[in-house]
A = this chain, B = another copy of it.
Amino acid sequence: LESNRVIAIDAMGGDHAPDAVLRGANLARKRYPNTHFLLFGDEGTIEKGLSRIGMRGLRQVSTVRHAPEVVANEDPPVVALRQRRNSSMRLAINAVAEGEAECVVSAGNTGALMAMAKFVLHTLPLIDRPAIASFMPTARGESVMLDLGANIECDSDNLVQFAVLGEVFAATLLGIETPSVGLLNVGAEDLKGNTTLKDAAARLRDTELPIVFHGFVEGDDITAGTVDVIVTDGFTGNVALKTAEGTAKLLRSFFRDAFMSSFLARIGYLFAAGSFRKLSQRMDPRRYNGGVFLGLNGICVKSHGGTDAIGFANAVGLAIDMLKQDFNSKVSDHLTRLSSAGPRSGHEAAAG
């Protein structure tokens, strides 16, 4: 059972579990040879899945851990936290807390996963709340956006901490030396009253972190790639992410309609099909799979619930890359620099 890296997998999480999860782990196993998989879930079901053709390789580098319960998609976080203590999700997270595994990947219920991960793993020192981050495709390549829904309301300390999490993520995962960071806002002329954003901006402007603080950005700056890291509260980030996904879906359907709308256009499609297949790959949502939970005392990656084996393998890959790059110690290092540079906001210092 000895190997370089141990990863805990919630084998029962997601719409196509355990099939997509196991096939995804099997793909990841080929890409990352020195990895051992702890597979949490119903033992019989997982063993059956592993006994299929092509799964022998995964079987050899895996340990199956029986979990009698499953977190349902409908379970509210509080219910999952209190009543699903023997679920595949919870036991997989426990494995990280107990030092058995170095990271956990699940395609299950996001709210439950966040609640459990927060409760079991706790946040890193100097981080008040974890955030959900993801890559966004842009005109210039890829950016990082956070928070995508973990925290509905945020104060300026949260936003500053998210900025640190985001810049370290962009630096380590996208290889950008001094990432540019922007705070998501509306047109500057309407800024009255939003002191949270102004406070956060003032503190990021003065920071000694290795970042370029760009200031405020607007919704259209996300896909323009104006900055490498977009920082926002979880309400706005979640709406922006889903609005972008919905708009992309609408435009793809408009384009499909245009190609199907006439005989000539269909012929045109035959000629252009190769180029559009490449475009599909470029926009493949599986490339952007995985909402990473940043700020926890342990690596936790959430795969899209509806993803297939390729998407799940990408989520596993992301977790392993974060381990390799020693993500959390870099975050702690930057947080220390931030706190030594000056006190936190007066409001928070008094409150907390």
Q: Which residues of A contact B (CB under 8 A)?
A: 76-77, 109-112, 137-139, 149-150, 152-153, 184, 186-187, 189-194, 218-224, 232, 234-236, 238-255, 257-259, 261-262, 264-265, 267-276, 278-279, 282-283
Contacts and interface: CB of A to CB of B under 8 A. Distances in A.
A264 B270 CA distance: 9
B238 A187 contact: yes
Nearest to A238: B186
B246 A222 contact: yes
Contact of A279 (B139, B258, B272): B258
A190 B243 contact: no
Main secondary structure of the interface of A (DSSP, over half): helix
Contact of A193 (B139, B153, B246, B279): B153
A219 B239 CA distance: 5
Contacts of A235: 186, 194, 236
A112 B149 CA distance: 33
B246 A274 contact: no
A258 to B, nearest CB: 4
A271 B279 contact: no
Nearest to A277: B258
Contacts of A247: 222-223, 243-244, 247-248, 251
Contacts of A272: 258-259, 264-265, 267-269, 272
A193 B77 CA distance: 14
Contact of A254 (B250, B270, B283): B283
Q: How many copies does the complex hold?
A: 2
A262 B236 contact: no
Q: Which 7 A-B pairs have the closest CB atoms?
A: A219-B242, A268-B272, A268-B271, A220-B246, A219-B243, A111-B189, A265-B275
Contacts of A252: 251
A275 B246 contact: no
A187 B110 contact: yes
A241 B330 CA distance: 36
A106 to B, nearest CB: 15
A223, A247, A254 — most chain B CB neighbours (10 Å): A247
A138 B250 contact: yes
A278 B111 CA distance: 43
Contacts of A273: 268
A138 to B, nearest CB: 7
Given A152-B193, A236-B236, 15 more contacts: A149-B186, A152-B186, A152-B194, A186-B235, A194-B235, A220-B242, A220-B249, A224-B250, A236-B239, A251-B283, A258-B275, A261-B278, A265-B274, A267-B268, A268-B269
B275 A234 contact: no
A47 to B, nearest CB: 32
A268 to B, nearest CB: 3
B268 A234 contact: no
